[in-house]
Amino acid sequence: MRLRYKPWASDYINENKKYVKLAEDAPAGRWKEEFGNERPLHVEVGTGKGKFLNDMSLANPDISYVGVEVYDSVLVTGVQRAVEEEPDNLCFINGDVFFLEDMFAENEVDQLYINFTDPWPKKRHEKRRLTYSLFLELYKKVLKSDGIIQFKTDNQGLFEYSLESMSQFGMKLETVRLDLHHSEEAEGNIMTEYEAKFSEKGQPIYMVRARFQ
């Protein structure tokens, strides 16, 4: 992701705490109380500009969504969308995925999304990939025992790496698609900004849904 610094982003985020929290203010273990209902909790890590979660929250009012993004200059776009559209089932966290355990309690999350994350192609950067074993361990702690991880990317190398990483971790790969937009899962699929961009160029979108065993 190419970052464009927005000096006003931090102030905007602080002024709109209805839709965004700093990591230290995340109500770990109390998200249902935060939303005021018993809806399932779905989380996106590396949520970027927030288009995916804003669209998901509007399409699925019976689910609560939380997006985690470390860069405030990126996240602020998602917060602006939420302020404009006013969903009652969406919140963002301005924080690092590495501290996920401080944002959510054990077994609190029903489903987790990883969308078009940085592939970090160089071997020395493997530990930064969001499907690296260290991150999978974090996801396992916050996900319920039957919780699902859904991962989408346009990068074949990262996809192959992620399948191997999940398999070696002992996860069950329930659905694997090498061309998501020409599969039965295409119907109802909500796209991210990158997904729309890449698919318009004719690039296949890879998707896997997996769970821990």
State CA 98 to chain mean position distance: 13
What are the Cα distances from residue 83, in Å, to 112, 140, 166, 176? 23, 32, 36, 35
CB-CB contact of 154 with 195 (8 Å): yes
CB-CB contact of 142 with 179 (8 Å): no
Q: Which of 118, 146, 154, 179 is catalytic?
A: 118
118 tagged catalytic: yes
Catalytic residue annotation = 118
